[in-house]
Structure 1
Amino acid sequence: MPVWSGFLTPVLEVLMDEQVWRKRDLHSAVEDHVGLTTEQRAEKLPSGQRRADNRIGWALSGLYRAKLVDRPARATFVITDAGRSLLAEHPDGITEKILKTLPEYQDYAPARTASSSNITPDPYVVAREENDPLEQIEGGVGRLHAEVAADLLDRLRCQAPEFLEQSVLDVLVAMGYGGTEGRAARIGGSGDGGVDGVIDQDPLGLERIYVQAKRYAADNTVGRPEIQAFVGALHGVGAARGVFITTSSFTSGAREYAQNIGTRVILIDGQRLADLMIRYGVAVQTRQTFTVVEVDEDYFE
């Protein structure tokens, strides 16, 4: 059976009919196009998922990330103009190496830094033989989480501003803020005074944290003026601390300003927001749990 990247070209070739394909039908058509045998179609991973479904799913994920296919509705796919053009440019087939050269593919998941994430910094590096099995597992989990993080940001940017405002409050409640009752209120909208939400910091509600959420495209950074405006809004409600969250990133000037003012303002960029959503289970669900064991030395003593 082809590796996941071996399905990149077959998927695009099936989608060349320019029809909107449902995911299940597309998988079957790709398997027919590749000529998988009955035995290959029946192969399963230890999790119980069909191996073909897993590899075609990875191919679709990579193609979507590179904007070579689009999802007009849930669980449906269609080829884009870019997909048709790339297929024509590479009649011998599209490889993972070609995919990684595309700016759209590179821009989909911003580069991580050790200070902003506890996930493997370079999750797209294929596990090498010299890595021990545990390192390979951790690398695989890092890659999966990086794909999910990128998808979360893409979806958040496509939602209404009100959706993001509620999502960031959900994250803060999941992190333990909101007191014993998890109290958080969205107050965004016209006349919000530059504050989108408020959440209790302690069980009694004696201290409150005010939140600003900005749904920005990846290339639309938040600068110092926006942070200054937020600080002014905090002073307007008599608050001493706040959290500014964006789906993009902050300029160095914005970060420097936030660090040097008396008002405590925490800046959370899009990558950190996605990481927090994954860590605290907001808008994600557990797909599978693995248990890694080692010999109990005490048993043999």
Structure 2
Amino acid sequence: MTIPDYQALMLPVLKTASDGKEYKFSQLVEELADQFNLTTEERNELLPSGSQAIFTNRVGWARSYLKQADLLATPKRGFLRITQKGIELLSKDPIKIDISVLERYPEFIEFRNRKKDKNESLIEASGLESNLTPEDSLASAYNKLRSALEAEILSAIKDASPSFFERLVVDLLVKMGYGGSRQDAGKALGKSGDGGIDGIINEDRLGLDVIYIQAKRWEGVVGRPEIQKFAGALQGQRARKGVFITTSSFSKEAKEYASFIDTKIILIDGEQLSRLMAEHNVGVSIVGQYEVKKLDSDYFDNE
């Protein structure tokens, strides 16, 4: 049979998890493959990149979108379970679950809207626009994958321990060119604890200047008082530069305050943090690469 698309897999995924057990993702894939009576060839058929089985990839997308709608939860890495909302949806005996069903949930709408570019025409996450050129389609597909990855990164960061979060910040800053060696940077962060300052890291490998850091896993919006406290701590150290990193977001007042004070304070919220991690390959791995080629006119000009 034809390998089902990811939307056709949403209802089977949720039904499989309806017993309330925690399912390992690989176990879920095998159970669904059995339900659909997939052949060995169909189970092992790979994506064009050769990085993953098509069926596994599609089950992953179904799981990801169900999670964004809060119909599934991930109690621990690599596992999933159904939520109360998922149970309530199944109690209505739906014929199918697809993007149109997920759009009834504010959590999914928030996920979709969070990644939309306000300055360009929007491409719906349910599929690529039919009037796009191949290049546009490729770019849209890349952005869709990148947005999903960044959402997963941020979720993993929030589930991590405070000590791991500190190490994560060090890894990112070093990958971005700050702090000199990983060992030096690791010694700096988490050692100060002085009036709202979590650590100090070199701005460059020579240590010509330093940057003071506040790195906090935060649930609510970070307001102006927290930034004022950090600014005061910087002034107490006669510091000129600081970075405030959080897993949540900053209020409008906090951003305005940071923009007009003399001390340079950079605010990095959860979305920007996950974006920087993806950009600098921190906490992610490359599963496939594609090359887009064009005609070499110079080559043919010599004909």
Q: TM-score, normalized by length of structure 1?
A: 0.89
- 1:246 alignment partner in structure 2: 246
In the alignment, does 2:264 pair up with 1:261? no
Whole-Å Cα distance in 2 between the matches of residues 254 and 248 of structure 1?
A: 13
- 2:129 alignment partner in structure 1: 128
Whole-Å Cα distance in 2 between the matches of residues 6 and 294 of structure 1?
A: 36
- 1:284 alignment partner in structure 2: 284
- 2:11 alignment partner in structure 1: 9
Equivalent residue in structure 1 for 2:73, among 44, 67, 70: 70
The 3-state SS of whatever aligns with 1:243 is strand
- 1:299 alignment partner in structure 2: 299
Equivalent residue in structure 1 for 2:105, among 98, 102, 106: 102
**1:267-295 deviation per Cα after TM superposition (whole angstroms, max 9, x unaligned):** 11111111111101111111111111111
Kindly state the Cα deviation for residue 180 of structure 1 after the two structures are TM-superposed: 6.5
- Cα 1:239–1:61, aligned 2, differ >3 Å: closer, same or farther? same
32-41 vs 262-271, greater mean Cα deviation = 32-41
**1:117-162 deviation per Cα after TM superposition (whole angstroms, max 9, x unaligned):** xxx9867262122111121111111111111111111121122223
The 3-state SS of whatever aligns with 2:9 is helix
**1:29-60 deviation per Cα after TM superposition (whole angstroms, max 9, x unaligned):** 11222343555434332223322111111111
Whole-Å Cα distance in 2 between the matches of residues 267 and 121 of structure 1?
A: 27
- 1:21 alignment partner in structure 2: 23
Aligned residues: 297
The 3-state SS of whatever aligns with 2:255 is helix
- 1:167 alignment partner in structure 2: 168
The 3-state SS of whatever aligns with 2:136 is helix
Whole-Å Cα distance in 2 between the matches of residues 203 and 36 of structure 1?
A: 55
Instruction: Give the partner amino acid of 2:213.
Output: V
- Cα 1:113–1:43, aligned 2, differ >3 Å: closer, same or farther? closer
- Cα 1:294–1:242, aligned 2, differ >3 Å: closer, same or farther? same
- 2:48 alignment partner in structure 1: 46
Question: Which ranges of structure 2 fall in alignment gaps of 5 or more residues?
Answer: none
Whole-Å Cα distance in 2 between the matches of residues 18 and 181 of structure 1?
A: 43
- Cα 1:248–1:143, aligned 2, differ >3 Å: closer, same or farther? same
- 1:202 alignment partner in structure 2: 204
- Cα 1:272–1:290, aligned 2, differ >3 Å: closer, same or farther? same
The 3-state SS of whatever aligns with 2:26 is helix
Whole-Å Cα distance in 2 between the matches of residues 271 and 212 of structure 1?
A: 17
Q: TM-score, normalized by length of structure 2?
A: 0.89
**1:170-224 deviation per Cα after TM superposition (whole angstroms, max 9, x unaligned):** 212111112477732444379432111211113321310011012112xx11111
The 3-state SS of whatever aligns with 1:77 is strand
Whole-Å Cα distance in 1 between the matches of residues 117 and 226 of structure 2?
A: 26
Instruction: Give the partner amino acid of 1:32.
Output: D
Whole-Å Cα distance in 1 between the matches of residues 242 and 79 of structure 2?
A: 40
Whole-Å Cα distance in 2 between the matches of residues 234 and 68 of structure 1?
A: 44
- Cα 1:67–1:272, aligned 2, differ >3 Å: closer, same or farther? same
Contact 1:87 1:94 in 2 (8 A): no
Aligned residues: percent identity? 40
Whole-Å Cα distance in 1 between the matches of residues 45 and 30 of structure 2?
A: 14
Contact 1:10 1:30 in 2 (8 A): yes
- Cα 1:224–1:62, aligned 2, differ >3 Å: closer, same or farther? same
The 3-state SS of whatever aligns with 1:178 is coil
